[in-house]
Amino acid sequence: MANSEIRRTSGRGRLFDSVLDTIGDTPTIRINNLAPEGVNIFVKFEAFNPGASVKDRLAVNIIEAAERSGALKPGQTVVEATSGNTGIGLAMVCAQKGYPLVITMADSFSIERRRLMRMLGAKVVLTPRAEKGFGMYRKAVELAEANGWFLAHQFETEANADIHESTTAREIMADFEGERLDYVVSGYGTGGTVTGLGRVLRKERPETKIILSEPANAQLVGSGHAQERTETGDAAASHPAFEPHPIQGWTPDFIPLVLQEAIDQGYYDQLIPVPGPEGIEWARKLAAQEGILTGISGGSTFAIGMQLADKAEPGSNILVMLPDTGERYLSTPLFEGIPEDMSEEEIEISKSTPGYQMG
């Protein structure tokens, strides 16, 4: 669009029955200032979901699949263990549908996440950070069994990857119809995104290379050490390769059963680890140079996309998944060094006109 033309919109041409009908159809956006010359980088920006993350997709499908099967009864309490985004998505869905929700979450995750869930009507039960992700998962299981609550099972349920197969993958196929798609980059929290994408892309775009990433200091998949599981496939213990890392929402201290399908079926072509500080750096660059405010997980996947771009052949198209918004990380290292008060430079700008008054 020429700069002389005013932007126009025409509406979506429909009325939505509820906020849940606005989930999905997130935009694929070209990177203009950070991409190297000759290579096209795009991001699928999941912050455009109403709950501002990719987890809205699995949240609504977990609840609606359980409603269809009868596993979730009217008015029954829902319980789930989450680092935040799934809990926020579930809180939104449960608020709209009228289900009480209890979230278990390690107290190491950002404060704004628990406040958002409570704002949406959920109860948040904190577990000790020393018990890691497996501790909050175990607490959710205990609460479900003791109270007869519905456990959402985001790490194991078929509803997780199914929704990415039927929505996320289909959106990508439509966005790149008639275009080459050389690489798709994703991290994993539950593994639903990469598993759902893998099911579709392996069949319909076999030339597309799927790149999976995980924290450099917590390489669970990269370790080659199999996850210890119960007879039902649930994680039975914390994975020995896990270490605490700053990429919230990525890589709990076990390999989720949903991700195991992608591992077993070979849905990804390469596993590339990324250091957390590198993810923070690229999230900041995306904000400052592209106007795209994503979290540490988005910065981490973008870091891998930039690595690929440096070696990709001219004309390559690289798609990077950005799971959520940077506003979910205000109390994390992502915003360290971002001041609340005016800097010296800002004070000087203020002083440059007669209206300056401070102190």
Instruction: Write the CATH number for 325.
Output: 3.40.50.1100
Domain boundary at 121, 151, 181, which?
151
Domain assignment present for residue 143? The answer is: yes
pLDDT at 98: 98
Active-site residue, from 44, 53, 55, 186? 55
Residue 359 lies in a domain: no
Residue in 298, 258, 280 with CA at minimum distance from that of residue 335? 280
User: Does residue 90 sit within a domain?
Assistant: yes
Calpha distance 83→257 (Å, rounded): 17
Q: Strand, coil or helix: what is 320?
A: strand
Per-residue pLDDT of the chain (359 residues; tens, 9 = 90+): 557 799 999 999 999 999 999 999 999 999 999 999 999 999 999 999 999 999 999 999 999 999 999 999 999 999 999 988 999 999 999 999 999 999 999 998 889 999 999 999 999 999 999 888 889 989 999 999 999 999 999 999 999 999 999 999 999 999 999 999 999 999 999 999 999 999 999 999 999 999 999 999 999 999 999 999 999 898 889 999 999 999 988 999 999 999 999 999 999 999 999 999 999 999 999 999 999 999 999 999 999 999 999 999 999 999 999 999 999 999 999 999 999 999 999 999 988 998 766 65
Tokens 């917590």 correspond to what residue?
218
Q: Which amino acid is at 40?
A: N
Domain count of the chain? 2
| Torsion angles phi and psi, residue 255, rounded to 5 | -90, 115
Asked if residue 298 and residue 174 are part of one domain, the reply reads yes
Same structural domain, 60 and 43? no
Q: Is the Cβ–Cβ distance between 214 and 189 less than 8 Å?
A: no
Does residue 6 sit within a domain?
no
Residue 41 lies in a domain: yes
SS (H, E, C) 150-211: EECCCCCCHHHHHHHHHHHHHHHHHHCCCCCCCEEEECCCCCHHHHHHHHHHHHHCCCCEEE
Same domain flag for 30 and 63: no
- Tell me, yes or no, whether 101 and 224 share the same domain: no
> Can you tell me the distance from the alpha carbon of 3 to that of 177, in angstroms, rounded to the nearest whole number?
28
The yes-or-no answer on residue 123 being catalytic is no
Does residue 133 fall inside a structural domain?
Answer: yes
User: Looking at the structure, do residues 44 and 75 belong to the same domain, yes or no?
Assistant: no
What is the domain range of residue 101? 55-151
Do 200 and 285 belong to one domain? Answer: yes
* pLDDT tens digits along 43-82: 999 999 999 999 999 999 999 999 999 999 999 999 999 9
Same domain, residue pair 250 and 104? no
Residue-level pLDDT at 2: 56
| Pairing label, strands 78-81, 150-151 | parallel
Is the CB of residue 189 less than 8 Å from the CB of residue 251?
yes
Name the domain boundary from 151, 175, 202.
151
Q: How many CA atoms lie within 13 A of 105 on its CB side?
A: 26
Among candidate residues 53, 83, 110, 297, the one labeled active-site is 297
323: nearest Cα among 135, 66, 49: 49
183 shares its domain with 262: yes
Question: Is residue 67 located within the same domain as residue 214?
Answer: no
Residue 186 has which token pair? Answer: 């994703």
Beta bridge mates, 212:
186, 271
Domain membership of residue 210 (yes or no) is: yes
Alpha-carbon radius of gyration of the chain = 21
Instruction: In whole angstroms, give the CA distance from residue 76 to residue 124.
Output: 17
pLDDT in tens, 195-212: 999 999 999 999 999 999
Residues 30 and 60 in one domain: no
Q: Which long-range contacts (CB under 8 A, 24 or more apart) does 221-225 make?
A: 221/255, 221/259, 221/263, 221/271, 222/271, 222/273
In a shared domain, residues 182 and 249: yes
Three-state SS at 328: helix
**91 assigned to some structural domain:** yes
Q: Catalytic site residue 97? A: no
pTM of the complete model beyond 0.85: yes
* Cross-strand pairs, 268: none
Does 62 share its domain with 44? no
Query: 217: helix, coil or strand?
Result: coil
